Structures are given as C-alpha cells and as structure tokens.
C-alpha cells in the first residue's frame, strides 16, 4: 500500500466525520441552548457514546497501551475497572443532581450554575478560568497524539507537526460549524468505529502470534514481572491516586460536565451511567492488552514512539493499520471538538458576557465563540510542538487540575451551609498550590516541588482533601451573602 493511500484513508475518515457535522449544522437552531446543549434532547445511546468518545483520546488510545507496554497490564485495572466504576458512581452523585438543577433553571455551564447559586460573577469567572487553564494541556495532548500517530503510520514521511496541524485544522472547522448536535452524532459513529476496529486489531494480532496463550507466554518470558500484581510503577499510592484523580477530574472536564445537562430525561441519564463501566472495559481490554502483549513480541519501538502503530504495522496489512490510526485520530478529534465547544461556552457565557461585555448581541457572542475556538486551538498547537512531556504525563496533569474542583462542587450541590467565600477559598487555594507544583517541573525559576509523596501518593490527592477542608471550614466561619440562594439547588430526584 502506498503512503498516499494510507493518508487517504485517514483524511477520508476525517472528511466523513465533517460531513456528519454539516448535516447536523443544517438541522440545528441558531440558539445558544441548541448550539451548546442540542436543546437538552440527547437520548441514551447517543449520550452514552458521545461521553464515551469524548473521554477516549490520545491519553487512552496511545498513552494507555504505551504504559501497559512499559510497566505491565495493571493499567487495565486502574482505568478499566476502578476508574470505570468510580466515574459511573460520580456520574450519579454529581451528574444526576446537576441534570435536575440544570433542567429546572436552564443552566448551560458549571460556572453559570455555581455563579447563580452564590450570586457571584467572580466565582463564575474563577471556575471558568480554572477550567480553561487545564483544558489547554488536554487539547495539546490530542495534537501531540495525532502528530505521533501519523509519524508511526508513515514511518516519518509525515512529520510530527504535520499530523498535529491536520487534526487542529479539522477540529477548528468542525466545531465552528457543528455545535453539540453534530459533535454528539459524530461521537456516536466514532465510538462504534473505535470499539470495532480495536477488537478486530486485537483478534488479528493475537491470531498472528499464535493465540492468547502464546502472546501471554511470550510476554511473561520477556517480562516475568508482568505476571504478578503490583510492583514497579504500580504501587498502592499510584493505583489509588490515579484512579481517584482521573475519575473526579473527568467529572469536572468542561466537555464531560456539560453532558450532565444534555440528557432528554432522568431515565436517560440513569441508563447511561449503569452501562458505562461495561462499555469502557470493552474498549480498554483489547487496547491495553495489545500494549502489554507487545512486550513479548519481536518488535522494536523507537524511543518516543507509540507502541500500537508499531504492532499493527508488523502484524496487520497497511490498510488496516491506517484504519486503526484513523480510529485513534477519531478518538482525538471527538475529544478535541467537544473540548473546544465546551471551552467556547465557558469563555463566552462565564467570562466574556458577564465580565467584559454585558451588552454584547447574540451575533457578536457567537463570533467571539468561534474566534476563541480558533485562537485556543492554534495556541495549543504551537505548545504541542515543544512536547512538554509524555501523553500520560500531560494527561495526568490536566486530570489532577480538574479533580481539585470536584469536592467544592459536591459541597455546593448537597450542603446548603456552603458559602460563597468557602467556595472561592476552596477552589482557589488548592489550584494555586497545584499550579506551583506543575510550574516547578518546567520553569527553572520556580523551586522544585514533588509531584508524589510517601512512596507514590499523588500530591493532588492531598490537595483534593485540602479543597474539601477549606470549603467546609471557611463556610462554617462565614455567613451567606445576601444574593446567595440555596433554593436554586433544592431539587428532588429518585
């Protein structure tokens, strides 16, 4: 197969996704609620798969197999079981309550919901600012993954920057046109496509190496430590810290949190989070085991490369490897377009209109949103060219930053005594501390601070506890402001 045909398959898939977005654009209404939330009309299957495809990204499609290849298959337990179940529980605890509140009061963003409850434009802007801050590295992660994917598929004929630029251009065009309805439709197709190709890839590769027993035996011969649980990277601190920070962080991702508002009904939401753990395990099992089995295969993975394209190039035809890479790029694009769409809503509704231009027309706000998407994506593209870390490192940084928002939000949802000052302090102080930790790793002027303590426990876990203590403690010491209204969150579900 020629290089041109391989690239044709990848680009053809992206154009197919764009066509779905154009159809959605033609049937959409020109209102903010339709553009950002598809008029709260999403059913079970589309909600499940749009959340699924939005969460699956370069972090899971390439970073996960890379980690299993280097450290062992326990990553499947961290992401496939612990994290899958924990996120489903949080989807009920946070998502269902948010859906009830949003359905009654018409909220579009998390910042809008909290700002209205506590009568505070400042809190609204703070939540939006924190969200956009951590969204930046996660968008960058998708561009890094796309760049590395095309380098692997084409043996370097397409440079890293070319793959990153390709996915950046498509996601800007897509988000500007499609809105939530198009994103959700495309996500459903992309989710089904990803699930199908990764299982076919696993069966194809395993058959080529002699079956599951032969693949596992070769893996254990090459890496005997992969046969026992724990050890090496997988300390209790790492496993528990990672599962908790990722699950709580996911609930505060703008592109996931906003999906808590879009369900057609409460029953839709309940069916979705019950089915969630099964769906993620169905994808992670073949993807991560391919990475672990690769440790016993006679292949050479260049430093900095992703293991999955190397395995596919060795054991499957070039056209199929191109299809799987197209599926991986679909995962990155389905995450990126949702991130940019949600990011634009946070910027326009929580920062631009309430803080910068309260009298802006809807037309002006729409243009600001589209220009903001392009600027944000282009800045992330430039940053991705510097490759500030591995896919896992960049992704984990973003997850932990978002996780620090979760406990103050739970306090606001379930504890009427929560005050505006308690929320601001509970959000702001841990975020400043964590930002100092992150900057200390990349900025020479900032004294080095540890990312882990006491044998592998993530410092973000301690900062999550600090966020809860500060929110509760400061709320007990301060009074409700006159414009706070706890009744805004007084909803009943079953």
Average pLDDT in the 5-14 region?
75
Residue 319 CB coordination number (10 Å): 11
Report whether pLDDT(53) > 70: yes
The whole-number pLDDT of residue 273 equals 80
The whole-number pLDDT of residue 423 equals 96
Q: d(Cα 85, Cα 79) in Å, to the nearest integer?
A: 9
> What is the pLDDT confidence band of residue 182, given thresholds at 50, 70 and 90?
confident
> What is the pLDDT confidence band of residue 263, given thresholds at 50, 70 and 90?
confident
Q: Which residues contact 367 (CB under 8 A, 6 or more apart)?
A: none
The whole-number pLDDT of residue 268 equals 86
Q: Which residues contact 197 (CB under 8 A, 6 or more apart)?
A: 323, 324, 327
Query: What are the structure tokens assigned to 323, written together?
Result: 């299809």
The whole-number pLDDT of residue 390 equals 65
Nearest to residue 60, comparing CAs of 280, 242, 260, 241? 280
Is the four-CA dihedral 6, 8, 12, 14 of positive or negative sign?
positive
Please give, one letter per residue, the 3-state secondary structure of 235-251. CHHHHHHHHHHHHHHHH
Q: d(Cα 49, Cα 66) in Å, to the nearest integer?
A: 24
Q: Express each pLDDT in 402-423 by its tens digit.
A: 999 999 999 999 999 999 999 9
Residue 276 CB coordination number (10 Å): 20
> What is the pLDDT confidence band of residue 31, given thresholds at 50, 70 and 90?
low
Average pLDDT in the 346-355 region?
86
For every residue of 263-288, DSSP letters joined together read BSSHHHHHHHHHHHHHHHHHHHHHHH
Residue 331 · residue 56 · CB < 8 Å? yes
Instruction: Return the top range by mean pLDDT from 28-37, 115-124, 136-145.
Output: 115-124
Q: Which long-range contacts (CB under 8 A, 24 or more apart) does 267-273 make?
A: 268/42, 268/43, 268/44, 268/47, 269/47, 269/91, 269/95, 269/96, 269/99, 270/92, 270/96, 271/44, 271/48, 272/44, 272/47, 272/48, 272/51, 272/91, 273/88, 273/91, 273/92, 273/95, 273/96
The whole-number pLDDT of residue 27 equals 66
Q: Which residues pair with 42 in a beta bridge?
A: 263
Q: d(Cα 66, Cα 287) in Å, to the nearest integer?
A: 10
Report whether pLDDT(289) > 90: yes
DSSP state of 481: P
The whole-number pLDDT of residue 210 equals 92
Instruction: List C-alpha distances in Å: 262 to 180, 364, 372.
Output: 9, 25, 23
DSSP state of 492: -
pTM to 2 decimal places? 0.83
Report whether pLDDT(305) > 90: no
Average pLDDT of the chain, as a whole number: 84
Q: d(Cα 343, Cα 140) in Å, to the nearest integer?
A: 14
Report whether pLDDT(215) > 80: yes
Q: d(Cα 248, Cα 461) in Å, to the nearest integer?
A: 10
Report whether pLDDT(229) > 60: yes
Q: Express each pLDDT in 366-386 by its tens digit.
A: 778 778 888 888 888 888 887
Alpha helices in 109-159 (DSSP H): 110-118, 121-153
> What is the pLDDT confidence band of residue 57, given thresholds at 50, 70 and 90?
low
Nearest to residue 312, comparing CAs of 205, 218, 210, 208? 205
């Amino acid at each position: 197969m020629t290089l041109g045909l391989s690239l044709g398959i990848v680009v053809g898939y992206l154009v197919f996704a764009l066509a779905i977005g154009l159809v959605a654009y033609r049937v959409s209404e020109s209102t903010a609620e339709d553009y950002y939330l598809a008029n709260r009309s999403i059913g079970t299957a589309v909600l499940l798969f749009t959340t699924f495809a939005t969460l699956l990204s370069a972090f899971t499609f390439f970073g996960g197999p890379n980690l299993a290849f280097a450290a062992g298959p326990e990553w499947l337990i961290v992401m496939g079981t612990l994290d899958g179940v924990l996120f489903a529980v949080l989807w009920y605890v946070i998502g269902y309550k948010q859906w009830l509140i949003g359905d009654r009061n018409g909220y579009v963003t998390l910042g809008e919901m909290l700002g209205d409850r506590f009568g505070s434009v400042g809190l609204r802007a703070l939540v939006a600012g924190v969200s956009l801050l951590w969204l930046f590295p996660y968008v960058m992660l998708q561009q890094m993954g796309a760049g590395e994917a095309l380098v692997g598929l084409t043996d370097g004929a397409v440079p890293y920057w070319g793959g990153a630029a390709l996915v950046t251009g498509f996601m800007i065009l897509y988000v500007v046109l499609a809105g939530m309805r198009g994103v959700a439709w495309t996500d459903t197709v992309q989710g089904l496509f990803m699930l199908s190709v990764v299982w076919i890839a696993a069966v194809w590769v395993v058959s080529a190496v002699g079956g599951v027993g032969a693949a596992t035996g070769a893996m254990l011969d090459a890496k005997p430590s992969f046969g026992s649980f724990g050890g090496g990277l997988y300390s209790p601190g790492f496993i528990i810290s990672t599962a908790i920070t990722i699950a709580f962080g996911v609930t505060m991702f703008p592109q996931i949190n906003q999906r808590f508002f879009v369900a057609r009904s409460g029953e839709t939401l309940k069916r979705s989070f019950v089915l969630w753990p099964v769906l993620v395990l169905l994808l992670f099992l073949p993807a991560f085991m391919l990475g672990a089995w690769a440790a016993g295969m006679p292949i050479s993975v260049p430093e900095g490369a992703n293991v999955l394209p190397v395995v596919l190039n060795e054991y499957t035809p070039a056209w199929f490897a191109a299809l799987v890479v197209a599926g991986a790029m679909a995962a990155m694009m389905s995450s990126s377009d949702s991130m940019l769409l949600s990011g634009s809503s946070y910027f326009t509704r929580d920062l631009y209109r309430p803080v910068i231009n309260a009298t802006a027309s809807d037309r002006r706000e729409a243009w600001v949103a589209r220009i903001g998407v392009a600027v944000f994506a282009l800045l992330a593209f430039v940053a991705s060219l510097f490759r500030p870390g591995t896919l896992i490192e960049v992704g984990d940084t973003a997850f932990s930053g978002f996780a620090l928002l979760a406990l103050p939000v739970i306090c606001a949802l379930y504890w009427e005594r929560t005050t505006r000052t308690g929320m601001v302090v509970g959000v702001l102080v841990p975020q400043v501390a964590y930002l100092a930790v992150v900057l200390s790793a990349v900025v020479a002027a900032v004294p080095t601070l540890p990312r882990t303590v006491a044998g592998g426990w993530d410092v973000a876990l301690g900062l999550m506890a600090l966020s809860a203590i500060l929110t509760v403690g400061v709320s007990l010491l301060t009074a409700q402001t006159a414009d706070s209204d706890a009744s805004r969150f007084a909803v009943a579900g079953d």
